[in-house]
Amino acid sequence: MSSLRLQRPGVRRIACSVVAVETRRLREAEPPQSLQGEWSEATSIGEEGLELDSLEQLGALGALAETFGIDDSILGEERPLTVGAWIDWIMRGLDVGVNSITVLTSGSTGSPRPCQHVVTDLLDEAAFLAAQFGDRRRVVALVPAHHLYGMIWTALLPDALGVPVVVRTIGMPLGLVPGDLIVAVPDQWRAMLRLTRRFPQDVIGISSAGTLDNLVGTGLIAAGLTRLIDVYGSSETGAIAMRDVPAPAYELLPRWHLTTLGDGDWQLVDRTGAFVALPDYVERTSDRFLLPAGRRDGAVQVAGLNVWPQRIAGVLREVSGVADASVRLHTDGRLKAFIVPRDCRDTADLLAVLERTVSTQLLNHERPKSFTFGASLPCNAMGKLEDWSDGPNSREVGAQERLDLQ
């Protein structure tokens, strides 16, 4: 077990990310510049700093309480006025024995679902990773810290290594230097492959929250990335296994073992002997190695977020003029849809209706970005739905919108 404990820098990074997301939820809009990035402990919560009104301040307290498992009994006599006061409150909770952190992941309907983790398990994972990457001088964070992946790699790991975190955004200069550890998701790595002609020496990349295409990975290594590690895991489990691109199989982290579930299926067992469900069907290639073979719940990931194509197809089938629909993940990392019009309806008119529907009923990462029209859904000789190629009957829906990855 790890002797580490949560430290203030990592707690502050997590807290800033949690509050930014909560404020975005309350305002139903992108936060102002004052709420983007991290804030010093001296930053005022009110008008002269983050500009949170009284309801937003209560929302922030609630979100922090739910994340860190603390309550109002350990608040001070005065309400928090600065970011540092928030951190003081969280640290007092840790001192009195708070031992869990809760992150949210989307369910099949898109509704947030809490996933609770024992703090010592998260710290043990960070300690293991610190031993693997002990020579890193900085962590370059392209992902937020309120999701488990970002929490471990951009908050707990830097604390374990004793190195700074620098926050960067794709589409702006990354300012990489030797010794950097870049933490990003597959969509960001795909963009970096096109934007970066050459990486500095001694830069390592980490990818998770979705499948990393090996062509993208090998292209990044050819551009000078020293190593690229693809992490397999979930919000429910944390990291399960890792692979060095382009190796196909993932090696289990020390805390996990595979045990049979019957009929060639597998599940995880941790060091206490507890059984834990795998998010995917997997192929066991050897004692410590596995290959993911498809999500159990049918989800795919867009920009690191779970999306259920069958649910999206159901929304499209409700559109007037649509006889049937199928949705899949496109090679560009976004969703695409195949539409069977009803009664030979004009596809240009139907496309406009579909565009209005997805813009009002679906979140940005759930929206198909191309539509293909045909007389029937594409099926193989066995009648099973299969993929399709974009052709002359495909229509792009507007310009691709920037996903909020910060």
Summarised one tens digit per residue, pLDDT across range 17-50 is 999 989 888 887 665 555 666 789 999 998 788 8
Three-state SS at 3: coil
CATH number at residue 359: 3.30.300.30
Q: Is 330 within the bounds of a domain?
A: yes
Q: Phi and psi for 110 in degrees, rounded to 5? A: 90, -5
Q: Say yes or no: 114 and 230 in one domain.
A: yes
The predicted structure's pLDDT at residue 18: 93
Backbone angles phi, psi at 366, to 5 degrees: -90, -10
**Of 224, 259, 294, which residue sits at a domain end?**
259
CA distance 371 to 339: 7
Identify the sign of the CA torsion 96, 154, 300, 36. Answer: positive
Please indicate, yes or no, if residue 402 is contained in any of the structural domains. Answer: no
Predicted local confidence at residue 9, as pLDDT: 94
First to last CA, the chain: 32
Residue 18 amino acid letter: V
Residues 6+ apart with CB under 8 A from 141: 150, 153, 154, 165, 166, 167, 168, 183
67 vs 77: CA distance, rounded Å: 22
Nearest CA to 328 out of 267, 389, 392 is that of: 389
* DSSP-assigned states of every residue in 145-206: SSSHHHHIIIIIHHHHHT--EEE--TTS-----TTEEEEE-HHHHHHHHHH-S-PPSS-EEE
In a shared domain, residues 85 and 126: no
- pLDDT value of position 164: 95
**197: in domain:** yes
**Residue 18 located in a structural domain:** yes
- Cβ atoms of 193 and 220 within 8 Å: the answer is yes
Distance CA 60, CA 44 (A): 13
State whether 110 and 79 are in the same domain.
Answer: no
Of 390, 388, 300, which Cα lies nearest the Cα of 108? 300
Counted domains in the chain: 3
At residue 306, the pLDDT reads 77
Determine the pLDDT at residue 392. 55
127 by Cβ neighbours in 10 Å (0-12 / 13-18 / 19+) ranks as middle
Q: From CA 199, how far away is CA 176, in angstroms rounded?
A: 8
pLDDT attached to residue 35: 60
pLDDT at 105: 77
Residue 94 tokens, joined: 């840790």
**74, two tokens:** 């350990």
The answer on 109 and 91 residing in a single domain is no
- Cα 305 from Cα 365, distance rounded (Å): 8
Closest CA to 266 of 248, 246, 247, 252: 252
- Flag whether 300 is in a domain: no
Rounded Cα distance, 167 and 150, in Å: 11
Half-sphere exposure of 13 (CA within 13 A, CB side): 26
> Using CA atoms, how far apart are residues 101 and 115, in angstroms rounded to an integer?
8
Low-confidence ranges of the chain (pLDDT < 70): 1-4, 29-37, 106-111, 295-298, 304, 380-384, 390-406
Query: Domain check: are 244 and 115 in the same one?
Result: yes
Question: Helices (DSSP H) in 362-402: which residue ranges?
Answer: none
End residue of a domain, out of 81, 97, 113: 97
Judgement on whether residues 252 and 112 belong to the same structural domain of the protein: yes
- In this prediction, residue 209 carries a pLDDT of 83
Does this model's pTM top 0.85? no
* Per-residue confidence (pLDDT) for residue 109, from 0 to 100: 47
Residue 279 lies in a domain: no
What is the domain-level CATH number for residue 50?
Answer: 1.10.1200
Distance separating alpha carbons of residues 276 and 33, to the nearest angstrom: 41
Clarify whether residues 112 and 255 are in a common domain: yes
Looking at the structure, do residues 187 and 169 belong to the same domain, yes or no?
yes
Q: Which domain holds residue 207?
A: 99-259
Pair 245, 114 in one domain: yes
**Are residues 222 and 341 part of one domain?**
no
Both 78 and 187 in a single domain?
no
Among 77, 97, 117, identify where a domain stops. Answer: 97
Whether 74 and 126 map to the same domain: the answer is no
CATH code of the domain covering residue 178: 3.40.50.12780
Spatial strand order in the sheet of 227-234:
165-167, 138-141, 180-184, 204-207, 227-234, 238-244, 250-252, 289-295, 280-286
Structure tokens at 142: 């392209």
